Chain A
C-alpha cells in the first residue's frame, strides 16, 4: 500500500470534460474538472442530480473515458485506454459499491464475492479462501451460501462491499451506497466505511445527501459539471467556509 511519500497522488484528474451527443444536441456533463485524491483519503463527491456527479463517477471508475483532459490512476494514464484495458484497470484498481448492490441474483454470496478474482484468473481454491476472508471482514461469513434474495438490504450491501474489497483494489468507489437502505441500515454501512477508512483504504463516495457527505473528512461539490467546492466534508456539505470556491457556480 501507500509508502506515505507525496511523489504522486493516487487519483489525479486534470481538466476533464465529458460531452455527450444526444439527438444531435451536445450535452456537456463535465466542464473542466480537476482535483487529486491521495491514498487513504475518504472523499465524498456531492451534487444535485444533473450536476455531473454520475458522469464523474463513471470516469473515476474507468467505466467511461473523458472527452478531453487527463485522468491518472495509480500512476497510469487511463483517459485513452481501450475497453479491454479499462476492464483490467477496473479489476485491479477499483472496488465498486453500487446503490442497487448489483449482485448476480443466481449466484451465492460467496460466488458473488469471488467474481472479481475470477476475472483476475486466480485458481478456484484461492478465490474461495479470499472471498471467505472478505465476507468475514463484513461479518457475513455465516450467510455466504445464501443467494441475494435470501439476504436483507444491509446484508446485500455488505456482500457488495466484500466483493469490492476482495481484490484489494487501490480505491473503493461507492455510488449512493445507502440510497436503497433504511436509515438504521444505512448507518451500519457508514460505520463500516469509517472502519475501512481507519484501516487505510481509499474511499470515494458519490452522493447527493449532505448529511452523508458531512461525515467524510473531505468533500468535493459538483454543480453544472464543475467543481464548486472542495474541502472538509462538513463545510462543503453545509456550503460554508473557505471551501466554497469564488470562481464556482454559474
Chain B
C-alpha cells in the first residue's frame, strides 16, 4: 500500500512534469471514451424519449400495418409486398364489428415531398401525412398556432394543411403562415395551422419537417392503392388484449388467411415497438463499444510509445533506484502505475468531454440525452485496462535494466 502511494506520487509527478506531452499522448483514449459516453447518452436519451412517447400514445393502443417494423436481420420486402393492402374498408369494419375497440385512427404518409409557395420552396424531403381529425389527440401532436382540420374539412376533402415548424420556417420565414397558400404536387392548399416544435431524432432526422392533411385529400393526391397504418385504441385498458384478438380475427377473415397460416399483417404494441427499439439500441451499443475499443487501442499504442520514451529518458533514474535497493517488482509497479494513471486520466478527460458533448447536444439540438452511470464506469475500467495492457511491456523493460549499465546512460 505504501509502495503504491509512492508510485502514485511519482506517476503524478511525471504527468505534471510534462503535461502537454501527456495530454497529446492521451488524445486517443480521450476521444475513444468521449465517443462511448456520447453514444450511450444518445441511446439512453432515445430510449427514454421513446418510452415517453409510447406512454403518451397510451398503453392500450396498438398499431396494425402491412409492413413489419424495421427490425434487424434481413427482411424479405418482396414477400411482404404481396400482402393485401389495409384499406378504409378494413378500418370501417374494425370500427363496426370490434366491440372492445374504442378509437381507430388510419394514417398514411409519403416522404420526399416538396412544398412550395410563390416565392419559396422546401427541399424535397418533407413527409406528408394524411390523418383523421382526431389525430392530435391520439398521437400527442400539438398545434402551436391556428388549428387542426375539422370534421367538415375532412369529409369535404378540403385542401387544407397543418405545417410542421421546419416547413413553416422554410416557406414563411419570420411570419405566421396561417391562411397563406402552399403548393404540394402542384395543387394549392390553405395553411390552417402550425404544429408545436418536436425536435429531432438523433439530432439528424427532424420530426418537424412534415405536413398534415385530411386523409381523404391525401388519398386524392397520392392515390388510394396504398396501405394504411391503423392505430387502434381499446375502449378500456383491460380490453387491450381482447381488442387485439378481435381485430386479428376480423382481419384474418377479411383477408382469407387459412387457419394454419400466420397473419399476413402486423400488430405492433408498445412492447413490440420497445423490443425492436431495444434491438436497435443493442446494435448501436455494440457498434459504439467497437469504436471505443478501436480508439482505445490507438490510445494504448500512444501509451506504449510514451512509456517507452519515458523509460528511455529515465534509464539513469531506474539504475539509481535499483542500486539503492529497488526490486524488479517495485520498478515494474512504478511504471505500470504511471501507465494506468495516465490512461485513467485520459479516461476521465474523455468522460468530461463526453458529458460536454451530451450537454451541448441537449442544448443545441434539444434532444434529451442521458449518460447511464455504468457507461462511465465501463469507460474508466476500460481505460485502466488499456493502461495496464500497454504499460506492462515498457515497465517490464525498465524492471529488467542492469543498474550498472543504466547508471552509465545519459
- Nearest-CB residue, chain A, relative to B3: A121
Tell me if A71 is interfacial: C-beta within 8 Å of chain B: no
Given A118-B6, A119-B321, A123-B2, are A88 and B404 neighbors across the interface (CB < 8 Å)? no
Q: What is the CA–CA distance of A104 and B14 in the complex, to the nearest angstrom? A: 13
Decide: B322 and A121 in contact? CB cutoff 8 A: no
Q: How far is the CB of B377 from chain A (nearest CB, A)?
A: 32
A selection of 7 A-B contacts at a CB cut-off of 8 Å is A63-B404, A84-B329, A88-B325, A102-B320, A106-B13, A119-B321, A119-B327
**Does B155 have its Cβ within 8 Å of any Cβ on chain A?**
no
Cβ of A96 within 8 Å of any chain B Cβ, yes or no, is: yes
Question: Nearest residue in A to B322 (C-beta to C-beta)?
Answer: A87
Q: How far is the CA of A98 from the CA of B404 in the complex (A)?
A: 11
- Residue ranges of A at the interface with B (Cβ–Cβ < 8 Å): 58, 61, 63-64, 83-84, 87-88, 90-92, 96, 98, 102-104, 106, 115-116, 118-121, 123-124, 163, 167
Q: Please give me the residue from chain A that is nearest to B325 by CB atom.
A: A91
The dominant DSSP class at the B interface is helix
* Minimum C-beta distance from A128 to chain B (A): 13
In the complex, residue of chain A having the shortest beta-carbon distance to the beta carbon of B331: A87
Q: Return the CB mask of B6-29 against A: 1 if under 8 Å, else 0.
A: 100000010001000000000000
Give the Cβ gap from B10 to chain A, nearest Cβ, in Å: 9
A119–B17 Cα gap in the complex (Å)?
A: 23
Q: Which of B316, B324, B330 contacts A116 (CB 8 A)?
A: B324
Residues of B within 8 A of A63 (CB): 323, 403-404
Report the minimal beta-carbon distance from B405 to chain A, rounded to whole angstroms. 10
Chain A residues with Cβ below 8 Å from B6 are 118
Q: Contacts of A119 on B, CB cut-off 8 Å?
A: 321, 324-327, 330
Kindly state whether residue B407 has any CB partner on chain A within 8 Å.
Answer: yes
Asked if residues A102 and B3 are in contact (CB atoms below 8 Å), the reply is no
B404 CB contacts on chain A under 8 angstroms: 58, 63-64
A87 touches B3 (CB 8 A): no
Q: Which residue of B lies closest to A112 (CB)?
A: B320
B325 near A87 (CB under 8 angstroms)?
yes
Within 8 Å by CB of A102, from B2, B323, B328, lies: B323
B169 interfacial by beta-carbon distance below 8 Å: no
Q: Which of chain A's residues have a CB closer than 8 A to the CB of B13?
A: 106
The answer to whether the Cβ of B317 comes within 8 Å of any Cβ in the partner chain is yes
Nearest CB of A to B166, in Å: 59
Considering the chains assembled together, what is the distance between the CA atoms of A115 and B17 in angstroms? 20
**How far is it, in angstroms, between the C-alpha of A116 and the C-alpha of B323 when the chains are bound?**
9
A-contact bits for B351-389, CB 8 A (1 contact / 0 none): 000000000000000000000000000000000000000
Inter-subunit contact A115/B407 (CB<8 Å) = no
Contacts of B325 in A (CB 8 A): 87-88, 90-92, 116, 119-120, 167
Contact of B326 (CB < 8 Å), options: A58, A87, A96, A102? A87
Contacts A87-B328, A88-B327, A116-B325 given; 6 further ones with Cβ under 8 A? A63-B323, A63-B403, A64-B404, A96-B323, A118-B6, A123-B2
**A104–B319 CA distance with the chains assembled, in angstroms:** 10
Q: Which residues of B contact A58 (CB under 8 A)?
A: 404
